[in-house]
Structure 1
């Protein structure tokens, strides 16, 4: 099971593994299939609020790592982080992934990382039974970032819900909320168990 970026990683793995995947089934929810387009989307409209929050969290994580390396005397780790340069001017995912993610993980730049790490290019090779659940109103994913049916393998079931936001999928009322994912995913997995 993978949610958001974890869903992207899972789907890419399944596509790369093809028939060699040891998994008997998989589910992915609110997947950013095209990381470049999602980095653009989160920088628009109200989604900027989420971007600002994530940027604070990611930069705080880097600072925590620096303190940990300093405390533990891990000079190699400190030197690696120092090579990233000043982090104070980063405001967007493009900034962070270009200055931090790409160099730390062997990518040429943010665009190279986004292209090579996006699951959309691997969906047709998935051979493991897979359920993908997306919401049309996801504030992180453009509608045009969603895959076309022709891009999906026969092993993949794609469900697009009108509402659900990003990993929300709450229905019902405030007094009696319902949680679609808590119903749908076990139902789908139980069907796999019966037919697998």
Structure 2
């Protein structure tokens, strides 16, 4: 498919990458009533789904996954869910393992390619027998996970009709190197701080596998992925983790209509996170690259964001 022509024109203030990114992540508020459902996973662990519902009974469900160290309570998730609920969709917002406010049971938690957990969520929701149509919407790390899922050698349920992914680091190592740049110092520092805090709690539960001294010695996200992510999830090291889980290599295999919205001024994304040639050769992959939007920003002079409106438009036209 050719590149999708974008119509996103933000207010002048939100043409700034930092303002768009920070406002969306830390200032925007979208209250939403959600019902929590705990799923016991096949390996004895658990994860939590936060549900919100259309006023009218719906046979359509949107499955949403948040980004790195996020949750289903983040405003980019609740904003999307509220907008879809008001337009006839139920929404199941997935909290990745350890991200729902309670540490998960196992030493392992989540990572950018943990598609087995998504498979269990899909099966759980479809077993309810309520939904004829399912669609995906992933943000950042969650978008990478969902793209990998759709492009892996697996049988995709016929109920899964289409997908939209926002601000996706299709090349994980490239995105890591972007975050290490001077202009992203504060973002990298914030992620590092949150991940270290998370691992400190995990070290209390698993002192034989992780020490506080090891965590305190981590000075970068690469260190975290070498110390924990790779070790806990059976990768050789951080680079092996990035190489095996970057979704870019799976995009050519996607067989349902899938839209990626990556802003050109997203400072978290490397050049390989804009799969222009793959999209041009694909029958199913659509790529939209607005000039502005930052990382999961896309703010407008209205309550809903551009990516929320585009997601509904794209999914409704293909379901």
TM-score, normalization by structure 1: 0.85
In structure 1, what is the Cα distance between the partners aligned to 2:213 and 2:148? 31
Which of 132, 146, 149 aligns to 1:13? It is: 149
In structure 2, what is the Cα distance between the partners aligned to 1:92 and 1:153? 36
Extract unaligned runs of 5+ from structure 1: 70-76
In structure 2, what is the Cα distance between the partners aligned to 1:44 and 1:131? 28
Q: Report the secondary structure of 2:259's partner residue.
A: strand
> 2:222, 2:238 within 8 Å by CA — same for their partners in 1?
yes
Q: Report the secondary structure of 2:208's partner residue.
A: helix
In structure 2, what is the Cα distance between the partners aligned to 1:161 and 1:17? 31
Query: Would you say 1:186 and 2:290 are equivalent positions?
Result: no
Larger relative contact order, structure 1 or 2 (CA cutoff 8 Å, min sep 6): 1
Superposed CA offset, 1:9-44 (max 9, x none): 0001100046x2122111111000111011100010
Superposed CA offset, 1:55-99 (max 9, x none): 0000000112233x2xxxxxxx321224x9611121222111111
Q: Report the secondary structure of 1:2's partner residue.
A: strand
- Give 2:297's aligned residue: 168
Extract unaligned runs of 5+ from structure 2: 1-136
Q: How many residues align?
A: 180
- Show structure 1 runs of 4+ deviating over 3 A: none
In structure 2, what is the Cα distance between the partners aligned to 1:80 and 1:66? 7
Query: Would you say 1:148 and 2:284 are equivalent positions?
Result: no
Which of 99, 116, 119 aligns to 2:227? It is: 99
TM-score, normalization by structure 2: 0.53
Which of 193, 196, 215 aligns to 1:56? It is: 193
